[in-house]
Chain A
Amino acid sequence: MTDRKIRVLVGKPGLDGHDRGAKTVATVLRDHGMEVIYTGLHQTPEMIAEVAAQEDVDVVGLSILSGAHMELFPRVRAELEQRGLGEVMLVGGGIIPPEDAAALEAQGYARLFGPGTPTEEIAEWIKARMGERLAAEGGGA
């Protein structure tokens, strides 16, 4: 009788007010059966990690179009780790130049999806990754 849903936090860190992409992605993930917590705008990395902890999410998704991604992704990652949430999957999108995206991915900060990525692709990617994880967790659930 298990009823396991993928829980995702979609967050907007920093002073950035661009939320068209974040809201669209949040809605699409809902349409793919996920439970999505949208934090609203203007969050600090601490707030995002704290919400992730209280909500016990599987995935934290950040949307950053302000150019502050090199500052914010690592800080959110650090805040998550500090709360023992190192295994939470961190994904994101927005205006992130390819080299920066590559650098963040290489350092294990997050998996990034840039402008023009079909939202279906994002949802399918998360589902597939989570599927692997849940399978690895075994029948524990």
Chain B
Amino acid sequence: MSPHTDSVTSVDARALWTEAMAAARLREASFTTLSGDELRAVYGPEDVDLDSERDLGWPGQFPFTRGVHPSMYRGRLWTMRQFAGFGTARQTNERFKFLLEHGQTGLSVAFDFPTLMGYDSDDAIAAGEVGQVGVAISSLADMETLMDGIPMGEVSTSMTINGPASILLAFYIAAAQNQGVDPAAIRGTVQNDILKEYQAQHAWLVAPEPALRMVTDMMAWCSEHAPQWNTISISGYHIREAGSTAAQELAFTLANGMEYVRRGVAAGLDVDAFAPRLSFFFDSHLDFFEEIAKFRAARRIWARKMREEFGARDPRSWMCRFHTQTAGVSLTAQQPENNIVRTAFEALAAVLGGTQSLHTNSMDETLALPTEKSVKIALRTQQIIAEETEAAHVADPLGGSYFVEAQTARLEAEAEAAFAEIERRGGVVPCIEAGWFQREIHRSAYAYQRAVEAGEKRVVGINCYTEEEDSQASIELHRIDSSVGEEQTSALGALRERRDDAAVRRELDAVREACRGSENLLERFVAAAHAYCTLGEIAAVLREEFGHFKEPQIL
């Protein structure tokens, strides 16, 4: 590794630099990353202890530090996947058809709050929230409307749903069957990462243990009947957005990933039968180099764990493939146009970090759901990176950078320390029940807020370069039609009239039986879906049988 120069000279050079540095006048500023890492002024060979064969490999090779594909973006660019959805199934269906006609092949579904939480649109608790931040899907009938005229054997659909993921997937499977499409032909993803719900996003249905059973039931069912379906997207994004540092995001996400693997194995599945269908979802924040290092460290750690600890043999089981979203929480309501620039840096970090797909946030992030115009700018940002910069021409362009390699190694070491801490506290689920993750995340969020208010962490428009005049008023807003709720409610009322009540009762009883026994729950949900049992009805049975999760008191 050492350069071919005379080593005495290089030591002298470093000593000289150290001296010059000590004498230099420095700016009044903090040089610490969001993870609290005190950065050095420059990094050199002494700062990295790297065995390139062991720690880097080549792209597409273990431990995949440099990327999961040999050709990286020369083969195929990352997928530009903008997450969206609102209103009724019919409105979203129209939008999907429009997108498909314009060449998009993948659909991405955002659900509204009632659906995310497992309530029907006509539940009293849903008042004012139906169709507001995503599409409302209360039964197979809504799913049929959503996918009407869309060939379900051909498109790939990503559904951002967790607590009731199995129920929504059951609606999807049933809708496909009604189109004459076999589950073996459906392609797509459900987020279905329940662990991070308790830790960060808080849209859960029942307590962790039964929820994990639903996850393993889905893994088992899909590996047999729907082998092209991705069963979990293990998400650090939510953990980070809830306030964690990059180091915590990395550690907690991978700890969750390992927990799913353990559960799958404990349920009797062969690790290579399901691990290739696991993928990840990370955040890309503004600490540019630390973020890039985080993506690289994630691949390295996952590969090592899967091969060495879990004995996976299929290289696809070792690969940490991931989607990235830029950091919504880094965006400001003040001078919102600046958000375009922030998002561009974050997107670039994701690309330099080797992401498989990317969502870029829109400049109106803090105001409401984005308008078409702002979404288009966000998408163009990705296209500019892909087409106009040479970022996509070379795999892992920052590999070998002293700084980035040192950060990668540091993050890996910090993650290992966190894994040990979680283990010491009894594992992921006990840590959730005790509120440990939640408390750690809250502390980081609070520290960040303090740092911003104290001016240690600079944010343009917030604590420097502020403007008197509020420029947010100049931005056009996305508004949701409030009649969505009424439309959904009356459609649901009609469905309840028309369906076969006896069949509904029979299927709900069967779900209840399955909860008490060991029958595969997804199998039962598909049957219940065909009888037009609603999301809320099925979820109510689960809540009754499995019990609620009460959030631990962490403040």
How far, in angstroms, from A41 to B461 measured CA to CA in the complex? Answer: 31
Extra contacts besides A20-B241, A116-B332 (14): CB < 8 Å: A15-B116, A15-B126, A20-B445, A24-B449, A27-B446, A38-B555, A44-B125, A66-B113, A67-B368, A68-B132, A97-B477, A116-B462, A119-B453, A120-B453
Interface centre among B329, B446, B462 (most CB of A within 10 A): B446
We find that the number of chain B residues with CB closer than 8 angstroms to chain A is 42
Docked complex Cα distance between A20 and B200 (Å): 9
Among candidates B117, B128, B369, residue contacting A70 with C-beta atoms closer than 8 Å: B128
Q: Are B333 and A27 closer than 8 Å at their CB atoms?
A: no
Are A15 and B446 in contact, CB atoms less than 8 angstroms apart?
A: no
Q: Which residue of A lies closest to B366 (CB)?
A: A115
Q: When the two chains form their complex, are residues B555 and A15 in contact, meaning their CB atoms are under 8 A apart?
A: no
Interface residues of A (CB under 8 A from B): 14-17, 19-20, 23-24, 26-28, 30, 38, 40-42, 44, 66-68, 70-72, 95, 97-98, 114-116, 118-120
Query: What's the Cα separation between A19 and B203 when bound, in Å?
Result: 12
Q: Is the CB of B366 within 8 A of A17?
A: no
Selected A-B contacts with CB under 8 Å, 30 pairs: A14-B113, A14-B129, A15-B113, A15-B116, A15-B117, A15-B125, A15-B126, A19-B242, A20-B445, A24-B442, A24-B445, A24-B449, A27-B442, A38-B555, A40-B553, A66-B133, A67-B133, A67-B369, A68-B113, A71-B127, A95-B366, A97-B367, A97-B368, A98-B472, A98-B473, A115-B366, A116-B332, A116-B334, A116-B462, A119-B453
Contacting B132 at CB < 8 Å: which of A42, A66, A118?
A: A66
How far, in angstroms, from A38 to B369 measured CA to CA in the complex?
Answer: 28
Chain B 455-496: CB-based contact to A (< 8 A → 1; otherwise 0): 000000110000000101100010010000000000000000
Q: How far is the CB of B209 from chain A (nearest CB, A)?
A: 20
B191 to chain A, nearest CB (A): 14
Residues of B within 8 A of A42 (CB): 117
CA distance A116 to B452 in the complex (A): 10
Chain B contact residues: helix, strand, loop or mixed:
loop
Q: Which of B132, B242, B332, B472 interacts with A67 by CB under 8 Å?
A: B132
Q: Do B334 and A15 touch across chains, with their CB atoms under 8 A apart?
A: no
Residues on A with C-beta less than 8 A from B553 are 40
B125: A residues at CB distance < 8 A: 15, 44
Give me the 5 closest cross-chain CB pairs, A-B, nearest first. Answer: A71-B128, A17-B202, A15-B113, A68-B128, A67-B132
Name the A residues within 8 Å of B127 (CB-CB): 71
Q: Give CA–CA (A118, B459) in the complex, Å.
A: 12
Q: What does the 1/0 interface line of B108-125 toward A look like (CB < 8 Å)? A: 000001101101000001
Tell me which residues across on chain B come within 8 A of A71, comparing CB atoms: 127-129
Contacts of A115 in B (CB 8 A): 332-333, 366
Alpha-carbon gap, A15 to B243, bound state (A): 20
Contacts of B473 in A (CB 8 A): 98
- Specify which of A15, A68, A70, A72 lies most central, judged by the most chain B CB atoms within 10 Å of its CB: A15
Known contacts being A24-B445, A66-B133, A67-B368, is A19 close to B472, with CB within 8 Å? no
CA distance A98 to B366 in the complex (A): 11
Distance A14 CA – B129 CA, assembled complex (angstroms): 8
Chain B positions within 8 Å of A30 at CB level: 555
From A114, A115, A116, name the one whose CB has the most chain B CB atoms within 10 angstroms: A116
Chain A residue with Cβ nearest B118 = A15
Min C-beta distance of A132 to chain B, whole Å: 25
Interfacial chain B residues near A16, Cβ < 8 Å: 113
By the criterion CB–CB under 8 Å, are A72 and B128 in contact?
yes
Contacts of A41 in B (CB 8 A): 202, 551
Closest partner residue, chain A, to B478 (CB atom) = A97
| B177 CB within 8 Å of chain A | no
Contact of B442 among A23, A95, A116, A120 (CB under 8 A): A23
B201 at the interface (CB under 8 A from A): yes
Does B132 contact A20, Cβ atoms closer than 8 Å? no
- Chain A residues within 8 Å of B128, by CB: 14, 68, 70-72
Q: Are A116 and B333 in contact (CB under 8 A)?
A: yes
A72 to B477, CA, bound (A): 20
Residues in A with CB closer than 8 Å to B470 are 98
Bound Cα distance A72, B241 (Å): 24
Closest Cβ neighbor of A14 among chain B residues: B129
Flag if B368 contacts A15 (CB, 8 Å). no
Q: Is the CB of B129 within 8 A of A66?
A: yes
Check if B114 sits within 8 Å of A15, measured CB to CB: yes
